Amino acid sequence: MLMGMAGRPRSFDRDVALGAALEQFWRSGYERTSLAMLTSAMGVTPPSLYAAFGDKHRLFEEASALYFARTCEAVDRAAALPSAHEAIARMLDDTAHAHTDAATPAGCLMLTEPRLEAQREVLYAKIKDRLDKAVRDGDLAPAASTDHLAAFLVAVMRGMSGRARDGGTLEELLAIAETAIHALPRAGG
């Protein structure tokens, strides 16, 4: 009695449905994505969606958290590179490629969606931490203001995301990235 588990099993894969929701939010943003679009993309009826994910807002939070986790993986991989210049260059290169990948919607969900400011704050902190480490390593001039540099880099990534949404190509985004690299202080300077 009162054993929690019982009843008809779910007829869809929750992770697959979440991925479909993520892609829809990514493509159209939170506000422009209606429940009809979500249920169509996920192959799920509204009551099933609400039973599995709560409401639209919680579904978005779960989907954006998934996106954020993937992004953080790439950022952390880049940050692990030996020099700050390599790390930053890799991050910007990743950004250009990810934002123009034909297999996914253009641009970056985290950088485009207004309500994901907390995620952007974490991205900023990751970049600043990597720059601070570079200063400690003697890899970056001690006088470099890592907070200003990190804010600049997040702004550039954001600009790249916006340009990708406007139809910017990979080459165009790579050119922006390469130009931004020149704003970094020279090694040992």
Partner DNA sequence: ACCAAACAGTATCGATCACTACAGAATGAG
Partner DNA sequence: CTCATTCTGTAGTGATCGATACTGTTTGGT
SS3 (DSSP) at 186: coil
SS3 (DSSP) at 57: helix
Helix axes 146-165, 170-181, angle to 10 degrees: 170
Subset of 8-67 contacting DNA (CB under 7 A)? 8-12, 33-36, 44-48, 50-52, 55-57
Binding partner selected for residue 120 from DNA, a second copy, none, CB under the kind-specific 5 to 8 Å limit: a second copy
Q: Find tokens 């943003």 and name the residue.
A: 29
Q: How many residues bind a second copy (CB under 8 A)?
A: 35
Q: How far is the CB of 40 from DNA (least distance, A)?
A: 10
DSSP 70-113: HHHHHHHHHHTSSSHHHHHHHHHHHHHHHHH-TTS-SS-HHHH-
Q: By the criterion CB under 7 A, which residues form the site for DNA?
A: 1-12, 33-36, 44-48, 50-52, 55-57
Q: By the criterion CB under 8 A, which residues form the site for a second copy?
A: 31-32, 111, 114, 117, 120, 145, 147-149, 151-152, 154-160, 162-163, 165-168, 172, 175-176, 178-183, 185
